[in-house]
Structure 1
Amino acid sequence: MSAHSRLTGAAMLKRLRRSRGWSLANAAQALVDMAVRLGQPFDTSIASVQRSVARWESNTSPIVPSERYQLLLAHLYAHDARGQMSLGSGSDLAELLEALGHFGVSEGRLSELRTILVRTATDTGVELLALLGPSTQAALSAALADPSHLDEGLLTAMRDSISHVNGQVGSVPFVRLQLLLAPIIESCRRLLNMSVPNVFLPDLQLISAQAYTLAGRFAFETRDDDASRALYSAATDVASSLGVPWRRAVVHMSNALVTLYSTPGLDAAKALIDAAVRDARVGQSVTVRARAHALQAEIAARAGAEKHAKAALALAWYDLDQDRATDPATSSFSPAHLRGFEGITSLYVGDPAQAHDYFANSAQALVAPRERVQRAIVSADQALARIRLGDPQSAAELLHSCIDAASETGGRVAMIRMHRARQDLRPWRREGFVADLDDHLIESLGR
């Protein structure tokens, strides 16, 4: 990190402190008090802490706050000057994280700090609008009172809020993510029923479709299938009004995945996936088209239609190999995800050894925090392949990591796939490695 960037970070830290009206001594005292509140009291004097604050803000050679101080600063600036928690864009916390970024603090560490504060907010039952940031709160309140106040800035803030929540998947349990998304969902619902300026209506509809789709998935993950169906229905209606087929295909695909696990049989999920394929084929996104064909392959494989499944997979690879530089979709669907679908196809209508290798390669590539839920799903399928290959003990070992991921995220599909693999371990139910697995299941998931 350049010296200029560190000086920028130092100036931002100084500006944050002064915005609170704090002297160096005041800031040191606030940090000491926060450490006590968090059960991490200092064993040094306030004067020593004050010297640390001064070194961070040096206009010649500033130093980066240590990880302990980063955590204390995050908790300190997560509350505004009135003591209310504020985490979103434009908040003091957002400025603190930007300052730490200038010091060279990694994005992974900054994401960890955000996640810690999100957990704190949802643990303490903070007012949900506080999670949107102070400027967004004010703009949204004004627009809900008078829809003529809706503008591009507010729409961008709402879009960023959805992206922020989506980015927490895999790091924050789904039940908390529902809380984070709730104010956007309610705001979209109310604004769509108001006379908003026509120029902003398409963007509002797009944001609403994205929010409803994500909320539909969260409702499914938390086992509220009625709410999930209602949210997907609303998302489909709004996406249809956009006149952009691939946008509706995205809704259909998400809906199909939850329908597969919440509705008996394959017919309902197949109908949604076929609709997604039809929309994707006339849409402008090859990434969405690739994912739609991959899902079509999975449904065909589960139905035992080998020829259809392999044809759909071939189409998915063909789509994914196209130039996607100008693809309008921001989907993260990648070759790693598609290898997981190849594994599913081989598991149901092919060679379990080949399926195992596909799953292993997919899981190895799914390393981002956002992909943790998907990695647990793929690993559970990999364990099922090991069982079919006659290696139940290593399958049980693999399932232990799936249990940990499922218990921390609350991922419903991962749990379903994991329990399916456990059922296939019944012939070895008297073995110690199965008993250990059952103990882990009961301890972590209560089942």
Structure 2
Amino acid sequence: MQRRSFLAGAAGLAAGAPVTAPRRAAADSGSVDPAAYARTTTRLREQYWTHEPARLLPKVARHVRVGARLMNRRPDSRVAAALAESALLVSRIAFFDLQLGVERVEPWQDLALAAADAADDGALGAAVLGHMAFAPAWSGRGGEARGRLAAARAKASRGGAGPVVHAWLDAVASEAEVRLGNPSGAFRLLDRAAQTLAPVQSDNTSAGTPEWLDWFSGPRLDGFRGAAELAAGRADQARAALHRTLAGLAPEADKQRAVTLADLAAAAAAGREPEDACGLLHHVLDLVERQGYATAVDRVRTVRAALTPWAGERFVAELDDRLAAGQATSSPDPAA
């Protein structure tokens, strides 16, 4: 990769970035050494689970631009890997937390992939490609989603990625099949992911798992399974899987907890238990109000649509009131 490419990519992001550019210019990259840059990357990764996304996004985007300047000045594999992780984090916040639109997510993913390649990090490159499959899967572009996942698997295999990366890719592929209207096709992938993870779980060790891969685990795989069971119309099996997810989540995993509770609400609605569904959705909104997570709010609205037969009930009206109030007070677009 040419030295100018990272700076050019960062400059392009700065021109059309999904964040407001800081009033003050980014810190001089000449004063930042690779080890310090990597430490800041780790700190920002940890903040993803506890900080409000609209406030965190500009900080991470600024860090990406500093990394691009470092790479332009003196290419370094440590900086390239940290830059890839940080650019991927920007894209995750923009896509999952704030839903800013694909056109404002893809440039960060492109930069993350280029940086992962510069770092010769196949696992990280595979993770970027896996994330690049979500948007086409969610919008019904099956060929594109499956093609990106195939490329991700190939990169993971060539790069010697560990079992957790491969299991996560199968989990993403299972969600893609569910989103594409093929829930039956998801279970083979989920079974393979579980088999891949089994040795890791039996050893009770994270050896070989990249530090940046903090969004996936055995309990989270159960969350993917629960969603597939829901789509297949098996509410009881979905509940069992989703309760396993809740039992295994870390205290700081409120984003996954919110999505899991929303899926449990969907199971309750499918079981004609509308008041229980509304109670679970209120728990989801409690979590969202503390931090913000647009993906979970989307799940709430999906379940609310399933509650239409009970629209005249008091508990549904109370949920509608809360949703309307939340919409009026939601976090502003950081590009505003």
State TM-score, norm by structure 2: 0.81
1:240 pairs, out of 117, 133, 149, with 117
Letter of the structure 2 residue corresponding to residue 329 of structure 1: P
**Any conservation in 2 of the 1:210–1:235 contact (CA below 8 Å)?**
yes
Distance 2:92 2:125 in 1: 15
State TM-score, norm by structure 1: 0.62
Any idea what the Cα deviations from partners look like across 1:396-429, whole Å, max 9, x if unmatched?
1100011122233221211111111111111111
Distance 2:51 2:65 in 1: 21
Offset at residue 389 of structure 1 (A): 1.2
Q: How does 1:163-312 map to 2 (within 5 A)?
A: 163-194=42-73, 196=74, 201-220=76-95, 221-225=97-101, 226-257=103-134, 260-261=137-138, 263=139, 265-282=141-158, 283-312=160-189
Kindly tell me: are residues 419 and 265 of structure 1, through their superposed partners in 2, closer, same or farther at Cα, counting changes over 3 Å?
farther
Distance 2:240 2:173 in 1: 21
Any idea what the Cα deviations from partners look like across 1:80-139, whole Å, max 9, x if unmatched?
xxxxxxxxxxxxxxxxxxxxxxxxxxxxxxxxxxxxxxxxxxxxx99797xxxxxxxxxx
Unmatched tracts of structure 2, length 5 or more: 1-21, 331-336
Q: Which has the larger radius of gyration?
A: 1
Kindly tell me: are residues 277 and 143 of structure 1, through their superposed partners in 2, closer, same or farther at Cα, counting changes over 3 Å?
same
Distance 1:142 1:313 in 2: 44
Alignment of 1:346 with 2:238, yes or no, is: no
Residue of structure 2 in register with 1:382 after alignment: 264
Kindly tell me: are residues 426 and 322 of structure 1, through their superposed partners in 2, closer, same or farther at Cα, counting changes over 3 Å?
same
Offset at residue 246 of structure 1 (A): 1.6
Kindly tell me: are residues 142 and 232 of structure 1, through their superposed partners in 2, closer, same or farther at Cα, counting changes over 3 Å?
closer
Kindly tell me: are residues 428 and 274 of structure 1, through their superposed partners in 2, closer, same or farther at Cα, counting changes over 3 Å?
farther
Distance 2:298 2:113 in 1: 26
**Any conservation in 1 of the 2:140–2:180 contact (CA below 8 Å)?**
no
Could you tell which deviates more after superposition, 295-304 or 243-252?
A: 295-304
Kindly tell me: are residues 365 and 192 of structure 1, through their superposed partners in 2, closer, same or farther at Cα, counting changes over 3 Å?
same
**Any conservation in 2 of the 1:217–1:258 contact (CA below 8 Å)?**
no
Residue of structure 1 in register with 2:333 after alignment: none
**Any conservation in 2 of the 1:205–1:238 contact (CA below 8 Å)?**
yes
Kindly tell me: are residues 405 and 257 of structure 1, through their superposed partners in 2, closer, same or farther at Cα, counting changes over 3 Å?
farther
Q: CA RMSD in A?
A: 2.5
Letter of the structure 1 residue corresponding to residue 30 of structure 2: A
**Any conservation in 1 of the 2:28–2:66 contact (CA below 8 Å)?**
no
1:322 pairs, out of 196, 199, 208, with 199
Offset at residue 237 of structure 1 (A): 1.8
Letter of the structure 2 residue corresponding to residue 437 of structure 1: L
Unmatched tracts of structure 1, length 5 or more: 1-124, 130-139, 145-149
Residue of structure 2 in register with 1:53 after alignment: none
- Identity across the alignment (%): 24
* 2:199 counterpart SS class: coil
Q: How does 1:414-425 map to 2 (within 5 A)?
A: 414-425=296-307
Kindly tell me: are residues 228 and 376 of structure 1, through their superposed partners in 2, closer, same or farther at Cα, counting changes over 3 Å?
same
Kindly tell me: are residues 174 and 427 of structure 1, through their superposed partners in 2, closer, same or farther at Cα, counting changes over 3 Å?
same
